[in-house]
Chains A and B, each alone.
Chain A
């Protein structure tokens, strides 16, 4: 899967969780409280289900969820393995 496709899908998932927010690739998801502890869990589940991967614990850290591109990059790396 291409990076741009992954990006688009993750954008879609985040938008579904928070349908009212104006979000772009570099929106600071945690800093701006677009995601909170409840919705982050939902997002992780959705990512795991859609991409059929398990996000390992050591990847679950603030740096990897800063914005849409960071999440996509992490998912891309895991998919390549």
Chain B
């Protein structure tokens, strides 16, 4: 039985040593080379940090083959990794480092993190002799130990580090194999950033099955024709993408003009996939297998799956299906009782897939990882997702909405509260409210300021937010609002404010 994800790499390095494992614009690497390079990174870590086990090591790097070598090297060293995106604003990186307190930050020559912290360039591995180091530290790790920590938006402005175990990833990767039969012929076209857990499918299914993972350059996702040509050139046959990326291809019209020659499976997860765009795909490519998956980071990427097996009208919503193997979904109503058909309740998850909670934050962990209310006899945790769902007549789960102010924008999970917290902290701000315009798919920010402190233009607010928030969290429309509508509790009335927003014209489509 596998108990460490690194065994997937070791096996494939033996079975398919000379097969291409990973590919990006600059580098192509076989399984044997990947295994060797990862061991060298483990060697470097032991030289830098001594004999450490189950400690965090951060990777500050552009999305690349090298970044993955570092992840695997960290696992080889008996520790766990956490990716830090190079495009993230400095203040957010500092918050993450503050929570994680990594032993070491790995970077590469092109991007060095501009803070005073224990960091080393992975280029240092070039001078190491692999024979001098025996990479066996991973053997001291047990399968309930962490493999990675991914940071996700937190409403108080502090990103939350979700801790996932080896067992969670192995459980997930084995289920994926049973369900989708990935093998050596599989060529993944990776879209997901590595700080987003959709990438877990690409990475570990590649390692487990001796497949090939092609890291698609991010900028191509803005250019549908180029993107389709690239997919053909690289003979990519399997996509696991966020719906936004599939939607823009469908809307561009390019799908009918450039034929995809090799794609056999299109899986998606991360936000609602609209049936209108799915239908465009299905009309052009009826023979592709389509699967709608669902899951928050806290349960190791995916916990439900629906393989599209019938036609949907453009108005129907696509079910998220039923639970993955070895995972159970329970949908609880307000009284913590199981819901009946068509009754709305909160989706809760139980199983091996559950995260060990938020790094360094037991309060937040205990708020959502709770004792199963249906079990009064022994210790059993469930994760409350905050997603409201219902069962349809076919007993498939259908997503309804969030129960809080969390949104999905371009596939990214965002707490509107985090945007508000950051904005409130700006000097001169009085009140602030962030909303999501579902129709135009944009974040809208309303604020008021104290003119005695300072004048605060929309442009200035944007400029300051840009220094603190990742680009996908930045509002696309900002309005000064002198008087906020309030509800009886004196809180901002978000529903009424939303109506103000809907009356506004969209940028770039007016004023001509």
B508 and A39 contacting across the interface, CB-CB below 8 Å = yes
B219 and A62 contacting across the interface, CB-CB below 8 Å = yes
A4-17 vs B, CB cutoff 8 Å, 1 = contact: the mask equals: 00000000010011
CB distance from A24 to the nearest CB of B (A): 14
Instruction: Identify the closest chain A residue to B471 (Cβ).
Output: A33
B220: A residues at CB distance < 8 A? 62
A16 and B508 contacting across the interface, CB-CB below 8 Å = yes
> Does residue B326 face the partner (Cβ distance < 8 Å to A)?
no
CB distance from B470 to the nearest CB of A (A): 9
A20: B residues at CB distance < 8 A? 458-459, 461-463, 478
| Bound: A53/B176 CA distance, A | 47
B391-435 vs A, CB cutoff 8 Å, 1 = contact: the mask equals: 000000000000000000010000000000000000000000000
Cβ contact of B221, chosen from A16, A19, A37, cutoff 8 A? A37
Instruction: Identify the closest chain B residue to A49 (Cβ).
Output: B512
> Does residue B142 face the partner (Cβ distance < 8 Å to A)?
no
A62 and B222 contacting across the interface, CB-CB below 8 Å = yes
CB distance from A68 to the nearest CB of B (A): 16
| Bound: A13/B471 CA distance, A | 20
Chain A 39-72 residues near chain B, CB threshold 8 A: 39-43, 46, 57-58, 60-62, 65
> Does residue B2 face the partner (Cβ distance < 8 Å to A)?
no
A18: B residues at CB distance < 8 A? 476, 507
> Does residue B511 face the partner (Cβ distance < 8 Å to A)?
yes
| Bound: A61/B230 CA distance, A | 12
Instruction: Identify the closest chain A residue to B465 (Cβ).
Output: A20
| Bound: A18/B225 CA distance, A | 24
B226 and A60 contacting across the interface, CB-CB below 8 Å = yes
B447-463 vs A, CB cutoff 8 Å, 1 = contact: the mask equals: 00000000000110111
A17 and B507 contacting across the interface, CB-CB below 8 Å = yes
| Bound: A25/B222 CA distance, A | 20
> Does residue A2 face the partner (Cβ distance < 8 Å to B)?
no
From B222, B251, B252, B410, name the one whose CB has the most chain A CB atoms within 10 angstroms.
B222
Cβ contact of B472, chosen from A30, A33, A43, cutoff 8 A? A33
| Bound: A21/B507 CA distance, A | 13
CB distance from A9 to the nearest CB of B (A): 13
A38 and B441 contacting across the interface, CB-CB below 8 Å = yes
CB distance from A36 to the nearest CB of B (A): 7
A22 and B226 contacting across the interface, CB-CB below 8 Å = no
Cβ contact of B222, chosen from A13, A16, A22, A65, cutoff 8 A? A65
A61 and B226 contacting across the interface, CB-CB below 8 Å = yes
A36 and B410 contacting across the interface, CB-CB below 8 Å = yes
Cβ contact of B463, chosen from A13, A22, A32, cutoff 8 A? A22
| Bound: A40/B509 CA distance, A | 13
> Does residue A35 face the partner (Cβ distance < 8 Å to B)?
yes
Count class of interface residues, chain B: 20 to 34
A35: B residues at CB distance < 8 A? 222
Q: How many A residues touch B, CB cutoff 8 Å?
A: 28
A19: B residues at CB distance < 8 A? 458-459, 507
Interface of B is mostly: helix
B463: A residues at CB distance < 8 A? 20, 22
| Bound: A41/B249 CA distance, A | 11
A61 and B223 contacting across the interface, CB-CB below 8 Å = yes
B507 and A37 contacting across the interface, CB-CB below 8 Å = no
Instruction: Identify the closest chain B residue to A17 (Cβ).
Output: B508
| Bound: A34/B323 CA distance, A | 39
Instruction: Identify the closest chain A residue to B458 (Cβ).
Output: A20
A37 and B244 contacting across the interface, CB-CB below 8 Å = yes
A39: B residues at CB distance < 8 A? 508
| Bound: A77/B106 CA distance, A | 44
Cβ contact of A62, chosen from B223, B254, B461, cutoff 8 A? B223
B410: A residues at CB distance < 8 A? 36-37
A21 and B462 contacting across the interface, CB-CB below 8 Å = yes
B254: A residues at CB distance < 8 A? 57
CB distance from A53 to the nearest CB of B (A): 17
CB distance from A69 to the nearest CB of B (A): 17
B509 and A42 contacting across the interface, CB-CB below 8 Å = yes
B329-369 vs A, CB cutoff 8 Å, 1 = contact: the mask equals: 00000000000000000000000000000000000000000
B248-272 vs A, CB cutoff 8 Å, 1 = contact: the mask equals: 1001101001000000000000000
| Bound: A11/B222 CA distance, A | 19
A32: B residues at CB distance < 8 A? 471
From A20, A21, A36, A43, name the one whose CB has the most chain B CB atoms within 10 angstroms.
A20
B99-114 vs A, CB cutoff 8 Å, 1 = contact: the mask equals: 0000000000000000
A36 and B478 contacting across the interface, CB-CB below 8 Å = no
Instruction: Identify the closest chain B residue to A61 (Cβ).
Output: B226
CB distance from A73 to the nearest CB of B (A): 17
Instruction: Identify the closest chain B residue to A19 (Cβ).
Output: B507
Q: Could you write out 13 A-B pairs with CB less than 8 Å apart? A: A16-B507, A17-B508, A20-B478, A21-B462, A31-B219, A33-B472, A36-B222, A37-B222, A38-B248, A41-B252, A57-B225, A62-B217, A65-B222
Q: List 7 additional contacts besides A37-B248, A60-B224, A62-B222; criterion CB under 8 Å.
A: A32-B471, A36-B222, A38-B248, A38-B441, A41-B248, A58-B225, A60-B223
